């Protein structure tokens, strides 16, 4: 069945910067984006209901069935949604609408069981290991398993490893005893890579030579990632090709973390990490002792960049030089931690276009409309 994934307007603001250029349903957690998970569970096609300026890039359409885009699907919640009668809505205990059927859904039905939603930035990495496990079975169903594996590669927990035909692996060590490992077609695991599950390497993605993945990591499509990585999600088309540590973090699309970029994911006194909320313009407690960074689309860090616990970079940030920057860097900023300046529009668009060229992608007319709309909405410098 076809269905619509709708954004809670207030919630999409709390998930900035990752919702600046996409609906909530296009956030990646586990192996797949949220909308892809629902398409598999419901065997249908998803449409979106989100910020109006996103309509140029994403398919908006009204449907009889409507589902909260931040909701993580499982068998229980899927069955509860499918059991809705016309004009019924499924609500959580706190009154949040999780799904509804029909334009005049007024009859409330209380959801049962555990409700899992992406409500804040740190939920993305927090749920990632669990979601890799949920997605693993779906990912294996329609794909062909590779018949020949490199003889120099060592596999532990083979029953939890799926390597799709068309993937390339050379002299790696993969331990899936702690969680499943999924490696998609066109992906490349270079020599000396160490992988501990859960782990997902999506189509066309690359692990750099000698890299270490310590569990619950997702490397989105056509990203290249190396160094030491722990419990981190790369949405796609981003690079961290060299040594340096990142953990308990989320990196958007079209980002680049240069050599020796290092992330702190724990405070020296082991206390709770707070994260800047771009909507409330205030710091919000996470209830987590481990929390790294959140890097918006088209952002980059120069050689030797150090990022503090709970740092948020908006979209289109270009950060370089040494020293810890502030824990919040506004969108379209560039410079050193001690001397940040605003981008000029023409210069920023040239950078964005060049970024796509490096991944052999072309900036389309629809891309330009979307990026221009985001510039007008999220450029705090007003230049």
- Please indicate, yes or no, if residue 134 is contained in any of the structural domains: yes
**What pLDDT was estimated at residue 204?**
98
CB 171 within 8 A of CB 151: no
For the segment 171-198, the average pLDDT, to the nearest whole number, is 98
**What pLDDT was estimated at residue 140?**
93
Share of the chain above pLDDT 90, in %: 93
- Please indicate, yes or no, if residue 30 is contained in any of the structural domains: yes
> Over 60: is that where the pLDDT of 206 sits?
yes
> Over 60: is that where the pLDDT of 380 sits?
yes
- Please indicate, yes or no, if residue 24 is contained in any of the structural domains: yes
Quote the mean pLDDT of the chain.
Answer: 96
| Same domain flag for 274 and 170 | yes
Decide: pTM greater than 0.85.
yes
CB 342 within 8 A of CB 333: yes
Where is 374: in which H helix or E strand? Answer: helix 365-378
| Same domain flag for 27 and 135 | no
- Please indicate, yes or no, if residue 377 is contained in any of the structural domains: no
Q: Which range of residues forms the domain containing residue 233?
A: 123-299+309-317
CB 163 within 8 A of CB 169: yes
| Same domain flag for 75 and 145 | no
Query: pLDDT per residue over 282-309, tens digit each?
Result: 999 999 999 999 999 999 999 999 999 9
| Same domain flag for 112 and 192 | no
- Please indicate, yes or no, if residue 165 is contained in any of the structural domains: yes
| Same domain flag for 213 and 97 | no
> DSSP per residue over 290-314, as a string?
B--EEE-TT-EE-TT-EE-TTEEE-
Which residues, in sequence order, are CB contacts of 270 under 8 Å at separation 6+?
Answer: 289
Q: How many domains does the chain have?
A: 2
Instruction: Give the tokens for residue 73.
Output: 């699907």
CB 18 within 8 A of CB 27: yes
Confidence of residue 382 (pLDDT cuts 50, 70, 90): low
| Same domain flag for 60 and 108 | yes
**What pLDDT was estimated at residue 324?**
87
| Same domain flag for 89 and 13 | yes
CB 94 within 8 A of CB 100: no
For the segment 94-122, the average pLDDT, to the nearest whole number, is 95
| Same domain flag for 95 and 220 | no
How many whole angstroms separate alpha carbon 167 and alpha carbon 148?
10
* Alpha carbon separation from 265 to 141, 224, 247 (Å, rounded): 35, 21, 6
Q: From start to end of 202-338, where are the E strands?
A: 206-207, 212-213, 217-219, 224-225, 228-236, 239-240, 245-253, 256-257, 262-263, 274-277, 282-285, 293-295, 300-301, 306-307, 311-313, 318-319, 328-329, 333-336
CB 101 within 8 A of CB 1: no
> Over 80: is that where the pLDDT of 381 sits?
no
Instruction: Give the tokens for residue 37.
Output: 């998970």
Question: In CATH, what number is assigned to the domain containing residue 152?
Answer: 2.160.10.10
| Same domain flag for 111 and 140 | no
- Return the residue matching tokens 């890097």: 295
> Over 90: is that where the pLDDT of 323 sits?
no
> Over 90: is that where the pLDDT of 139 sits?
yes
| Same domain flag for 112 and 127 | no
- Please indicate, yes or no, if residue 329 is contained in any of the structural domains: no
Strand partners of residue 263: 307
- Please indicate, yes or no, if residue 269 is contained in any of the structural domains: yes
How many whole angstroms separate alpha carbon 305 and alpha carbon 195?
25
How many whole angstroms separate alpha carbon 70 and alpha carbon 50?
12
- Please indicate, yes or no, if residue 358 is contained in any of the structural domains: no
CB 220 within 8 A of CB 237: yes
| Same domain flag for 273 and 155 | yes
Which residues, in sequence order, are CB contacts of 310 under 8 Å at separation 6+?
Answer: 273, 274, 275, 276, 286, 291, 292, 293, 327
DSSP 223: -
For the segment 148-165, the average pLDDT, to the nearest whole number, is 96
Among 93, 119, 145, identify where a domain stops: 119
Among 62, 85, 119, identify where a domain stops: 119
Query: pLDDT per residue over 340-352, tens digit each?
Result: 999 999 999 999 9
> Over 90: is that where the pLDDT of 128 sits?
yes
**What pLDDT was estimated at residue 383?**
45
| Same domain flag for 184 and 241 | yes
């Amino acid at each position: 069945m076809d269905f619509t994934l709708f954004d809670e307007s207030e919630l999409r603001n709390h998930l900035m910067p990752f919702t600046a250029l996409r609906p909530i349903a296009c956030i990646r957690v586990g192996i797949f984006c949220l909308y892809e998970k629902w398409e598999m569970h419901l065997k249908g096609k998803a449409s979106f209901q989100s910020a109006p300026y996103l309509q140029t890039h994403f398919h908006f359409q009204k449907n009889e069935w409507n589902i909260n885009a931040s909701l993580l699907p499982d068998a229980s919640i899927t069955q509860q949604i499918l059991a809705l009668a016309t004009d019924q809505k499924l609500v959580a205990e706190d009154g949040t609408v999780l799904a509804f059927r029909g334009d005049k859904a007024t009859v409330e039905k209380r959801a049962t069981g555990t409700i899992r939603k992406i409500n804040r930035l740190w939920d993305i990495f927090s749920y990632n290991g669990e979601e890799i496990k949920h997605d693993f079975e779906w990912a294996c169903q329609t794909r062909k398993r590779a018949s020949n594996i490199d003889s120099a590669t060592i596999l532990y927990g083979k029953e939890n490893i799926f390597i799709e035909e068309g993937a390339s692996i050379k002299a790696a060590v993969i331990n899936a005893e702690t969680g499943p490992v999924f490696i998609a077609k066109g992906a490349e695991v270079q020599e000396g890579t160490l992988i501990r599950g859960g782990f997902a390497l999506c189509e066309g993605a690359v692990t750099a030579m000698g890299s270490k993945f310590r569990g619950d990591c997702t490397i989105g499509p056509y990203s290249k990632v190396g160094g030491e990585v722990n419990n981190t999600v790369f949405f796609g088309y981003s690079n961290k090709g060299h040594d340096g540590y990142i953990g308990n973090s989320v990196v958007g699309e079209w980002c680049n973390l240069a050599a020796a970029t290092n992330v702190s994911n724990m405070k020296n006194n082991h206390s709770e990490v707070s994260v800047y909320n771009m909507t409330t313009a205030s710091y919000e407690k996470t209830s987590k002792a481990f929390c790294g960074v959140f890097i918006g689309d088209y952002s980059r860090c120069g050689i030797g960049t150090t990022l503090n616990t709970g740092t948020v970079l908006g979209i289109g940030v270009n950060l370089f030089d040494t020293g810890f920057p502030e824990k919040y860097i506004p969108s379209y900023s560039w410079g050193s931690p001690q001397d940040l300046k605003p981008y000029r529009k023409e210069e920023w668009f040239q950078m964005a276009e060049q970024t796509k060229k490096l991944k052999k992608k072309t900036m389309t007319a629809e891309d330009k409309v979307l990026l221009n709309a985001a510039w007008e909405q999220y450029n705090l410098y007003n230049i």
